[in-house]
Structure 1
C-alpha cells in the first residue's frame, strides 16, 4: 500500500488517493485515445466532454441556477482580484470590501487601482481574529458590489453566514479556500470565484460562477482575456485552457458526489476539525486558538503554543512523524492545520493524538 503523508498543506493541498489513482490509470491513455488528456487538442470532442461534464457536475452539486455561468479560467484568485473591479466597477460607483485578513487586503489593494473603493466593515482592530458581525457591514449607497473573502486561510476565520445585500449591490465572494466544503445558496451571489488548489483540484484552474446580469456589461475597452463575457461566449475555451487541471476538477467533483454530496462533505469536515479544536480547547492553555471561537474556520485551524521554541520543536517532531504543512504562514507565524475536503479523518485524528502526546512530553 502506498505510504501517504499526513498532508495539512494550505495549498496546493491534499487530493483524495482515489482521485490520484484514477488519474494515474488514465494518465498515458485517456479512454482509449492513445494519448494523455494533456496531449489532446482543447477543440477535440473528448476534451469538450470533460469541460462540459465538469460544469454539469458543479451545477448539480452546488444547485447553481440556470441564469449563472460556470467558467474555468487561469491566473488564480489573484487575477480575479483585478478582474472583478475591471468588469464591475463603473464610473461613479465604488467597490465595497469587508476586511477580514490577508487575502481581503490584497483584493482591496488591486481594486484601488481601478476606481473608488470603500471598507464596509473590518476586524483589523482585533488583528483579524474574527469575522465582522453582519449587522456591522455598511454598504455605501454608491456601491457597485460588496466583496467578501468567505474564508481567510492565514488567519483561520470563516463567515458562518453571508450578508444579504441584494437590494443594494452585487455580492461577490472569494471562496478559494472553502469552495464546495459546505452548502451555499448560490443565488445570494452575483459572482463567486475560487482557485481550485485547496478543495477542488490542483493548481492551474480558477472557478468563476457568475450571474447573467453581472456578466453582460463587461467593458469593451478591456483586453479580451480580462472580460467575463469573452469566456462565457467561448464556454471557457477562448484560449487553450488548463486542460489537465480541469480534468482533475472533474474527477474531484465525481469524488464529492460519490461521497454523498456537499451536505455530507460538510458534516465530514466538521467532524474532522472538531478533533483538532478539541485538542486545543482541552489543553489547559498549552495550545491557544488564534481565531475567536465564533469565527473559527473548518478549513484552516490556526493555533499557537505559549513558547516559540516549543513551536519550533512541534514542527520538527511532527515532520519526523510524517505530518506536513503545520507551520503557520510566514506573515503571522504560529501553527496551522489545513483540513480541506480531501484531508482524511484519520489524518486529523492522528494530529489530535500527536498534539496530546506532545503536550504530555513538553507541558
Structure 2
C-alpha cells in the first residue's frame, strides 16, 4: 500500500501488513459463521479454536517446555507489576529487582506496596544507559523471585543474556522484546508481555508461568481477577477475555511462524538494528547513541543530536517525509526508532537514507 507510513511507534506499534489485511477480510464475518468473531460467545467452539491455537503457537514458537501455563490476561504489563508480588511475594519474604530504567522503576514501586523489596543491581548511576552485568547481581538466596525488565523501551537498553538464578524464580518483563529472538523459557519462573509491541494490538497481556508458582496467594484479600490460579484453572476463560486482541495475537503468531520463527526474527532484527547503529556510530558525532554499546537494544534505538532545536527539526522533517513515532519519550527527550518484528527492513533503510540526507544538510 503506497500510503502506509514508516511506523516507528513505541507501542501500540507496527503490525504485519499481511495480518491487517487478513483481519480486514475476516472482520465482518469470521469463516462462514454469519457474524464477526467479536460478536461470538467466548464459550463457543469457533472462538475456543482461536483461543487454544494462540496458546499452541506461542508454545511452539517460544519452545515453552511442559510444566508451564500460558495465560491471556487484561490490564497490560502495568497490572502485572502488582499481580506478581500479590501472588508470589509471601509475607516475610523479599522480592529482588534489577533497576534498569523507567519500566523497572515502575515495577519496583508497585512491588513495594505489597512487601519487602531489595535491589539486586542498578544502573541508575549511569542514567540507566546500560544493563548491569550478571556478575553485579546480589540478591538473597531465599528471595521470593528476581525480577528483570528484558528491554527498556525508553532508554533503549536490552539484556543480552539472562542470569541462571537456580532455585530463585526468575521473572521477566518481555513486553517490548518477546519473540524478537529465541529465549530459553526454562530459565524463567514467569514471563509476561503486553501484546501491543511485538505480539498484536493492545488489550491482552501474555503470562507464561511455571505451574508450581500457581497457587493461592498468601497475601490476604487478593481479588479473584488478580490471582493467577483463577485464570489458570479456567484456561483464561474465567470471564470474557479480550477475544479480538487474542485473535490478532494468533494471526501475528502465524505470521512469525511463516517468516521462520524466532530465529528468523532475530536475524531480521539484528540487520535492522545494525543499519541504524552503524549509521549513528559512523556519523562523526552528528548522531550520538544513548545506550552503551554492550547494552544496546535491537528493538528501540535511542539517539541524540547536537541540540534540542536540531532534534525538533529532525522530528518535524521526518514526519513530513512519512516517518512516524521518532520522538523520544517525553521523560528523556531525544529521538527513538522502535523497530519491532513487524517493522520492515525497507522502512529502516528509508530511515537511514533520511538520516544521511539530514546530516548532509545540517552537519
Mapping 1:347-362, distance limit 5 Å? 347-362=347-362
**Paired position in structure 2 for 1:189:** 188
Q: Does 1:346 align with 2:310?
A: no
Shift of 1:140: 1.4
**Paired position in structure 2 for 1:180:** 179
Alignment partners' CA distance in 2, 1:18 and 1:141? 47
Q: Please list the CA deviations of residues 54-100 of structure 1 after superposition, one character each: whole Å capped at 9, or x if unmatched.
A: 00000011110110000010000000000000000001211100000
Q: Does 1:70 align with 2:70?
A: yes
- The answer to whether the 8 A contact 2:290-2:302 is kept is yes
Q: Please list the CA deviations of residues 307-356 of structure 1 after superposition, one character each: whole Å capped at 9, or x if unmatched.
A: 21110100000000000000000000000000000000000000011000
Alignment partners' CA distance in 1, 2:13 and 2:84? 25
- The answer to whether the 8 A contact 2:111-2:117 is kept is yes
**Paired position in structure 2 for 1:50:** 50
- The answer to whether the 8 A contact 1:92-1:142 is kept is no
Alignment partners' CA distance in 2, 1:105 and 1:222? 23
Q: Please list the CA deviations of residues 218-265 of structure 1 after superposition, one character each: whole Å capped at 9, or x if unmatched.
A: 347421101101000100001110000000000000000000111011
Shift of 1:216: 2.6
> Number of residue pairs matched?
362
- Please give the root-mean-square deviation of Cα atoms over the aligned residues, in Å: 0.8
Q: What SS class does the counterpart of residue 144 from structure 2 fall into?
A: strand
**Paired position in structure 2 for 1:122:** 122
Q: What SS class does the counterpart of residue 15 from structure 1 fall into?
A: coil
- The answer to whether the 8 A contact 1:190-1:210 is kept is yes
Alignment partners' CA distance in 2, 1:286 and 1:2? 31
Q: What SS class does the counterpart of residue 229 from structure 2 fall into?
A: helix
**Paired position in structure 2 for 1:141:** 141
Shift of 1:285: 0.1
Alignment partners' CA distance in 1, 2:140 and 2:215? 23
Q: Please list the CA deviations of residues 97-143 of structure 1 after superposition, one character each: whole Å capped at 9, or x if unmatched.
A: 00000000000000000000000000000000000010000111341
**Paired position in structure 2 for 1:162:** 162
Q: Structure 1 segments of 4 or more deviating over 4 A?
A: none
- The answer to whether the 8 A contact 1:177-1:198 is kept is yes
Alignment partners' CA distance in 2, 1:2 and 1:54? 31
Shift of 1:2: 4.5
Q: What SS class does the counterpart of residue 143 from structure 1 fall into?
A: coil
Q: Please list the CA deviations of residues 162-221 of structure 1 after superposition, one character each: whole Å capped at 9, or x if unmatched.
A: 011123x11000000001110000000000000000000000000000001111343474
Alignment partners' CA distance in 2, 1:166 and 1:16? 38
| Structure 1 unpaired stretches of 5+ | none
Alignment partners' CA distance in 2, 1:281 and 1:118? 37
Q: Please list the CA deviations of residues 247-289 of structure 1 after superposition, one character each: whole Å capped at 9, or x if unmatched.
A: 0000000000000111011100100111111110110000000
Q: Does 1:202 align with 2:195?
A: no
Q: What SS class does the counterpart of residue 235 from structure 2 fall into?
A: coil
Alignment partners' CA distance in 2, 1:331 and 1:347? 26
Instruction: Using the TM superposition, name which of 137-146 and 9-18 deviates more.
Output: 137-146
**Paired position in structure 1 for 2:41:** 41
